[in-house]
Amino acid sequence: MTQDFRLPDLGEGLPEAELVQWLVAVGDTVALNQTMAEVETAKAVVELPSPYAGTITALHADAGDVIEVGSVLVTFDTGQGDAAPQPVAVTEQSAPAADGEKAEPNLVGYGAAPRGAGRPQRRARVAGPASTRSDTAVLEAAPHDAITLDAPGFGDNGGQAPERPRSTPPVRALAKQLGIDLALVEATGASGVITRADVEAYAERVGVAATQGAAAVEDSGVPDTAEELAPERAPGERTTRTPIRGVRRMTADAMVRSAFTAPHVTTFLTVDVTATSELIASLKADKALADHRIGVMAVAAKAACLALGRHPGLNSKWDDEAGEIVEHHYVNLGIAAATGRGLVVPNIRDAHELTLVELADAIRALAETARAGKTAPADMMGGTFSITNVGVFGVDAGTPIINPGEAGILALGAVRRQPWEHRGEIALRDVMTLALSFDHRLVDGEQGSRFLVEVADVLREPGRAMLLR
């Protein structure tokens, strides 16, 4: 029985999605819930599991195509009577079910959580002409297509093309920067998808410095932009055109809307953060906190949460339709994260209730999820105030644009060791510039300045946090 699978509404109300890569090919025999493809919406990269068990007879789109919701994506031969996909109402992936257990749903529109880490069993393909490039070069040059070649170095497989390792675009970019062939990396997770941790572990085993492909983001919570998948440029090509899609388009629309709707004001303050640096160093040296990466971002986040409780205007929303100012009595703290897919601002729910250690853990988890392109759409909604760390890129200050629906955003500059007046003398101190942009409809200059000074006071003397509530 032939069955068509149409691209479902992925639970975001978006009309289309871009096909990032196929993880199966025509002729593959797939199991129910086996991951078939990765698609990118304006908010996240989503894995599509198979709603049927059977053989794939046709793929109706290529990597890079933009597909409308409701369009036929895959055709199956189920080898049996009528079969229907299983509609569900859950967006997050559940843990794989053990043998005998009922599979749990994991994607809006259809499907159930995978039962195991099965991979597509590909049929043998006719090899193409021998390539003059190295095997690694061929792997890197065809990031979205099955590799069909008859070149040495792939082992004794009778000319059959190797199965392409399953991974996300940021992980493939990291492997490329480190010069690592993903076909040699073993996936340690139950899903069979190679993660960043798998690549870094392999790099360590073979003696490659994994840090050479990543920016120093230990404290920032901001994934490194070096993971961005830049399009390849042909020799002599003078221009490169890249379609504006997905997160990059959504971010651009939001920033334009914010910049031309909310009257932005930005105020700056340079502060001596030596005491914060010393606090962070002492916490890192504490064995009880060895598993927590507490950095300046976490301290600034804690300071902002404390200050927002005393300056509610910066934790408010201008509701034009209702003609109201909505003051929030909680803090959903947005953390601006630069990824290869563009800027995303997921938020930490009820950040005001978290300790410094809990905030550091939350920022780290948020960064790892964003870095892997797996930030859930719901995690990017409902923020009340945001922080961005431009200092991780070596920048001293900037004028950040407010995230739509919020009243302010705090930018952290680079921490620099420089001469500074301290106790009546000139000494080398750790100095940072803070920049606060706020919506002048909600916050006047005095309120914005007092908030920024209060955040700076905590960074200057972290013990002052004990005096605030």
Span 282-298, average pLDDT? 91
- Provide the pLDDT confidence category of residue 247 given band limits of 50, 70 and 90: low
Q: Answer whether residue 214 is part of any domain.
A: no
pLDDT higher at 421 or 92: 421
What confidence tens digit (pLDDT) does each residue in 374-414 have?
Answer: 887 778 889 999 999 999 999 999 999 998 899 999 999 99
What confidence tens digit (pLDDT) does each residue in 64-77 have?
Answer: 888 888 899 999 98
What confidence tens digit (pLDDT) does each residue in 124-159 have?
Answer: 333 333 333 333 232 233 333 332 223 333 334 444
pLDDT higher at 103 or 262: 262
Q: Answer whether residue 426 is part of any domain.
A: yes
pLDDT for position 198: 84
Residue 225: how many CA atoms within 13 Å on its side-chain side? 11
Domain range for 296 is 247-467
| Whether the predicted pLDDT of 207 surpasses 70 | no
Number of domains within the chain? 2
pLDDT for position 170: 66
Span 356-378, average pLDDT? 87
Considering the entire predicted model, what is its pTM?
A: 0.57
Q: Answer whether residue 434 is part of any domain.
A: yes
| Whether the predicted pLDDT of 437 surpasses 90 | yes
pLDDT for position 12: 56
Q: Answer whether residue 286 is part of any domain.
A: yes
pLDDT for position 169: 61
Single residue among 77, 100, 119 that ends a domain in this structure: 119
Span 434-447, average pLDDT? 95
Lowest average pLDDT, out of 212-216, 217-221, 443-447, 463-467, goes to 212-216
pLDDT higher at 46 or 350: 350
pLDDT higher at 230 or 289: 289
254 and 114 within one domain? no
Single residue among 98, 119, 140 that ends a domain in this structure: 119
pLDDT for position 114: 38
pLDDT for position 188: 82
pLDDT for position 119: 38
Known active-site residue 440:
yes
Single residue among 95, 119, 143 that ends a domain in this structure: 119
Q: Answer whether residue 163 is part of any domain.
A: no
Please give the mean pLDDT across all residues of the chain: 76
Q: Residue 34: give its domain's CATH number.
A: 2.40.50.100
Q: Residue 277: give its domain's CATH number.
A: 3.30.559.10
